[in-house]
Amino acid sequence: MDIIDLDQTVSHLQQALNFTAHVAYRDGIVLFISRRRQFAHLIESMAQQCGEYAHVRYWQGGALTNAKNTTVRLPDLIVFLSTQNGVFQTHTGVRDAAKVNIPTVGIVDSDCDPSLITYPVPGNDDTPAAVELYCRLFRVAVNRGKDKRKQMELLKRISAK
């Protein structure tokens, strides 16, 4: 059993949520990723509730790095709710995102390598209660960023008259 310092978790989580809200405020694309089947529905519904994207199935290596030559818009932020594919194997998407300089937020459990994650959040990624909490927090952060953008656009239109 490993113990995670919750003070560190809170500090890192605040930074990650703040960055996520800023990406949403700037009309960026946020992609939520997890390979845990038991959380697939939760993550997909959370992404839908905040108007963003989720990928909860097998990640084809090169999905980001091979997209450079196409007209596909890459995500502006990738949030990994689990950073591993299997036992001690870093998720392929983490490496792909690092190669194309896409910022990442990742819930990193004690058995994960945080070195390629831009905003690592030390925390438990195994229990339903923890994943539900992370989903709720990220949904709120994205929606607040989008709401703030709408408020600012409305203020600009009002002041332009």
> Does residue 68 have a pLDDT over 70?
no
Instruction: Show Cβ contacts of residue 38 under 8 Å, excluding neighbours closer than 6 positions.
Output: 128
Structure confidence at residue 2 (pLDDT): 63
Average pLDDT, the chain: 91
Q: What is the DSSP letter of 68?
A: G
Torsion of CA 51, 57, 62, 65, to 10 degrees: 10
Which CATH number is 30's domain given? 3.40.50.10490
d(CA 94, CA 105): 10
1: in domain: no
Crossing angle for the helix pair 40-49 and 128-160, to the nearest 10 degrees: 10
Q: What is the structure's pLDDT at 3?
A: 80
Kindly report, residue by residue over 110-153, the tens digit of the pLDDT.
888 889 999 999 999 889 999 999 999 999 999 999 999 999 99
81 falls within a domain? yes
pLDDT at 132: 97
Residue 77 DSSP class: E
Q: In what order do the strands lie in the sheet with 104-108?
A: 53-55, 30-33, 77-80, 104-108, 119-122
Residue 98 resides in a domain = yes
Q: What is the pTM of this model?
A: 0.91
- Domain housing 124: 6-160
- The band of 87, judged by pLDDT with boundaries at 50, 70 and 90, is low
Cβ-contact 34, 126 below 8 angstroms: no
Cα(64)–Cα(94) distance, integer angstroms = 10
Domains of the chain: total: 1
Structure tokens belonging to residue 33: 């990723």
Average pLDDT (52-66) is 88
Q: Which residue has the higher pLDDT, 109 or 50?
A: 50
User: What's the average model confidence in pLDDT over 28-44?
Assistant: 94
3-class secondary-structure state, position 54: strand
